[in-house]
Amino acid sequence: MDGLTEALVHRPILGGDIRPKRRGHRFFSATYLPHHRTMNIFFKRRFVRRICLGIFIFAFLCFFFVFVVVPFIFRYSYDMQRGLLFLNFVKVPNIDYKNPTSVGLIGARSLNVTTKDGVRLGVWHTLPVKHQLEAVAATWLTDRTDRDRRYDGWMESGITVVYCHGNAGTRASDHRIKLYQILNQLNYHVIAFDYRGYADSDNLPIDEQAVVEDTKAVLAWVRERVTKGHVFVWGHSLGTAIVSHTLAELEGEGRRVAGVMLEAPFNNLGEEIREYPISQLFTFLPWFDFCFVEPVYENNLRFESDMNLRNVSEPLLFLHAEDDRVVPFKLGRKLHKSVVGYRKDNNTVDFVRFEYKLGYGHKFIYRDSHLPTIVRNFVGKCLQKSQASS
């Protein structure tokens, strides 16, 4: 019996429940728990790998699109090249261009000039301060012909500045209006216009030669009226390249102006593209020039001021801010050195830099308190040169 009792005590009964005991409501298994953890780890790692792979594929596709697809789209899309260069689709500000007094230009008139190829350009004529009150008093003249005759008479023997703006915006952009007002305070007439495709000018395709023809048409209109006075041209940013190209062509025709002001100029479009802030994202690409520089040159969008100014003899005034990030200061300086290098009379070329700490950037040089004096002195020097040569 003792042996049987011992067997019954130490041996489990066949068919009996040999599962581990429950402790409370939890079930513990020496084999189940490690296996469960292993499966969880496996699935987690697999999920993480899929996430990482997805992120990698997405990043690769983004990189491929931005740095491969976009450059090649730019290369083979002439419309894209023109659009990003001229930015004439930026239709701001939205104002009534027939009423320039609404933006603070006292006594200014709105008119249209038609080019040789029949393009209608929107133009403003802003008056010297000495004529502004008289112009306001003459608003009772309902006959447009009489009013135009009076304005044309004021232009005849005065100093007129033709303003050629850069890309984006219009002749009504705030920083441009501020400059007109400064020039009016100096008792200069200002003729500001929009190229085709901008503002209220005819909405037609635009390219380098087209904007040059527009500028030539406006200058011809001004010359017809300024018979005893003097005509100056002011270009800003892309407008400096348009002015340089225009005057180079007019020089060959024997038609010159009294002087030229170049605000924030660059030497040629190729270098400006390479230095443009957004371009810095792409310049590391081996195909950068192939996709961004070569195609615009192939499509005759060159704006080579360093070449065009070789054929311009008028006195030049360069104005550039050191903190200009759109057209880097070094490009303006490079253009200036290029001009000085081949001009025999360097007294006809002035360069004024505005220190970085002033914070004028690309379009706020008009804020400088010395600007009126700088311009007045330059105009005076040009008039002396004109009188000496006549």
Q: Is the dihedral of CA 123, 206, 86, 231 positive or negative?
A: negative
* H helix or E strand, kind and range, residue 163: strand 159-164
Q: Which two tokens stand for residue 171?
A: 């002749």
Whether residue 129 contacts residue 159, with contact meaning beta carbons closer than 8 Å, is answered with no
End-to-end CA distance of the chain: 147
For the question of residue 362 being annotated catalytic, the response is yes
Q: Which of 237, 305, 336, 350 is catalytic?
A: 237
Q: Which of 194, 200, 324, 350 is catalytic?
A: 324
Whether residue 183 contacts residue 108, with contact meaning beta carbons closer than 8 Å, is answered with no
CA distances in angstroms from 224 to 99, 107, 156, 248, 378, listed in the order given: 24, 21, 9, 20, 24
Rounded Cα distance, 240 and 266, in Å: 8
227: Cβ–Cβ under 8 A, 6 or more apart, which residues?
A: 156, 157
| HEC-encoded secondary structure of 251-319 | HHCCCCCCEEEEECCCCCHHHHHHHCHHHHHCCCCCCHHHHHHHHHHHCCCCCCHHHHHHHCCCCEEEE
Q: Which of 165, 245, 320, 362 is catalytic?
A: 362
Rounded Cα distance, 3 and 92, in Å: 108
Q: Which value, to the nearest 10 degrees, does the dihedral of the CA atoms of residues 175, 176, 182, 186 take?
A: 170
Helix axes 208-225, 144-156, angle to 10 degrees: 90
Rounded Cα distance, 9 and 123, in Å: 115
**85 burial class (0-12, 13-18, 19+ CB within 10 angstroms)?**
buried
For the question of residue 237 being annotated catalytic, the response is yes
Whether residue 183 contacts residue 211, with contact meaning beta carbons closer than 8 Å, is answered with no
Q: In the chain, what's the furthest Cα-to-Cα distance?
A: 147
59: Cβ–Cβ under 8 A, 6 or more apart, which residues?
A: none
* H helix or E strand, kind and range, residue 110: strand 109-114
For the question of residue 189 being annotated catalytic, the response is no
Residues annotated catalytic, as ranges: 237, 324, 362
